[in-house]
Chain A
Amino acid sequence: MNVIEIKGLTKIYNTSEVIVKAVNGIDINFEKGEFTAIVGPSGSGKTTFLNMLGGLDKPTSGKVIIGGVDVWKLSSRQLIDFRMNNIGFVFQSYNLIPVLTAGENVEFIMHLQGKPKKERKQRTKDLLEAVGIGNRINARPSKLSGGQQQRVAVARALASKPEFILADEPTANLDSTATNSLLELMSKMNKKYNTTFIFATHDQRVIDKAHRIVTIEDGKILSDECFERD
Chain B
Amino acid sequence: MADQRIQKVINTEISYIQIHQAGFEETNDINDYILNAGDLQKSIGNIAGVIGVCKRIVIQSMAASAETASGVLISGINPEQEKSVTSINDKIIDGAYFEGIKRNPAVIGKKLAEKLNLRIRSKFVITVQDLQNNITSGAFRVAGIYSTDNSVFDETNVFVRYSDLQKLTNFPAGAAHEIAININKGEELPAISEAVKKVAGDKLSIKIWKELRPEMNYLTEAMDLYMYIFIVIILLALLFGIINTMLMVVMERTKEIGMLMAIGMNKIKIFSMIVLESVMLSLTGGIVGIVIGAIASKYGETHPIDLSAWAQGYQQLGYDAFVYTQLDPSMLVDITLLVILTGVIAAVYPAYKALRNDPADALRIE
Residue numbers of A with Cβ under 8 A of B are: 47, 51, 54, 56-57, 77, 80-81, 83-85, 89, 91, 94-95, 97-98, 109, 112-113, 156, 160, 168
Contact = CB atoms under 8 A, between A and B. Distances in A.
A72 to B, nearest CB: 13
**Counting chain B CB atoms within 10 Å of each CB, which of A47, A56, A83, A98 scores highest?**
A56
Contacts of A54: 262
A91 B363 contact: yes
Contact of B360 (A57, A80, A109, A113): A57
B259 A95 contact: yes
Contact of A160 (B256, B259, B264): B264
B210 interface: no
Contacts of A85: 264
A47 B364 contact: yes
Contacts, number: 47
Interface size class of B (residues with CB under 8 A): 10 to 19
Contact of A113 (B255, B259, B264, B269): B264
Contact of A83 (B264, B269, B363): B264
B359 interface: yes
21 contacts: A51-B363, A56-B359, A57-B360, A77-B266, A81-B264, A83-B262, A83-B263, A83-B264, A85-B264, A89-B262, A89-B263, A94-B259, A94-B363, A97-B256, A97-B260, A109-B264, A112-B265, A112-B269, A160-B263, A160-B264, A168-B363
A109 B261 CA distance: 11
Nearest to A94: B255
Interface string B245-269: 0000000000110011111111001
A141 B97 CA distance: 79
A51 B360 CA distance: 7
Contact of A56 (B256, B260, B262): B262
Contacts of A97: 256, 260
Q: 7 closest Cβ contacts across the A-B interface? A: A84-B264, A57-B360, A56-B360, A94-B255, A51-B360, A80-B266, A112-B264
A109 B364 CA distance: 22
A89 B265 CA distance: 13
B264 A94 contact: no
